[in-house]
Amino acid sequence: MELIEIIVLFLIGCLIGWIIELIYRNVVEKERKNPGFLKGPWLPIYGFGVLFLYLISGMNIHFIFKVILFISLPTFLELMTGLFLHRYFKIRLWDYSNRFLNYRGYICLLFSIYWGILGILFYILVYQLMVERLLIILADVNYIFLYGMIFSVFLLDGFISLQVAFRIKSAVNKLKGKYEVDFNKYKEKSRIFKRIEFGKKEVAEAKKKFKISKKMR
């Protein structure tokens, strides 16, 4: 695969994932929130997920093995992402603790099945179209500048969001306990959160305004 194809696939996955999450949270969970860690309309975990689905779809292996990989690789990616954000930044972007057969709230059986279904649909309905037409059109050199601009905005968004994550980590560490921050709750009150330094007086206010709890494992 060419670098431009990887970038295009990644950006497509980020955008489609954001749309899927937005619809799911608004319709199923009744939560009117911008999903994900970044401010813009993209979810990197889905970008990498689509890259996985594309590579698996092109493998010369039996369909059953493809389905197993459709389920296992994105689930592993979700687990590693959740662990990293939680353990390093003290942030939770999702919590499957109340779901059946979950592992510490990072992954669960239901969403692994969703990945499998998404992979099957991708393989049957999208993959061949991408190989024959879509990637050829999208990877046209005439659009390289446009993709470069979009990817640059994505990287800038990531840089800004990482600064926020480090701020959260620093603030939570001052609590001197095993705390975690619900990032979706944080985004609703972000202006207030930036004014909180977590001194003796501010701890109670922070716990009240944000979902800050001692549920970290």
What residues does 92 pair with on adjacent strands? 182
How far are the Cα atoms of 4, 9, 114 from residue 188, in angstroms, in the given order?
A: 35, 30, 28
* Mean pLDDT confidence for 14-34: 80
Q: Report pLDDT digits (tens) over 207-217.
A: 444 444 555 44
Domain boundaries of the chain, sorted by first residue: 3-158
Give the per-residue pLDDT at 177.
58
* Mean pLDDT confidence for 161-179: 72
Answer with the residue of higher pLDDT: 1 or 130: 130
Least confident span in 41-45, 69-73, 179-183:
179-183
Residue 132 is given by DSSP the state I
Give the per-residue pLDDT at 188.
46
Is the Cβ–Cβ distance between 43 and 184 less than 8 Å?
no
% of the chain surpassing 70 pLDDT:
73
Is the Cβ–Cβ distance between 22 and 35 less than 8 Å?
yes
With 50 as the cut, is the pLDDT of residue 91 above it? Answer: yes
| Residue 110 to residue 92: CA distance in whole angstroms | 19
With 90 as the cut, is the pLDDT of residue 66 above it? Answer: yes
Average pLDDT, the chain: 78
* Mean pLDDT confidence for 38-65: 90
Answer with the residue of higher pLDDT: 161 or 215: 161
With 60 as the cut, is the pLDDT of residue 198 above it? Answer: no
Least confident span in 7-11, 97-101, 127-131, 185-189:
185-189
Contacts 24+ apart (CB under 8 A), 53-62: 53/118, 53/119, 53/122, 53/123, 53/127, 54/9, 54/122, 54/127, 54/130, 56/119, 56/123, 57/119, 57/122, 57/123, 57/127, 58/127, 58/131
Give the per-residue pLDDT at 98.
86
* Mean pLDDT confidence for 76-98: 85
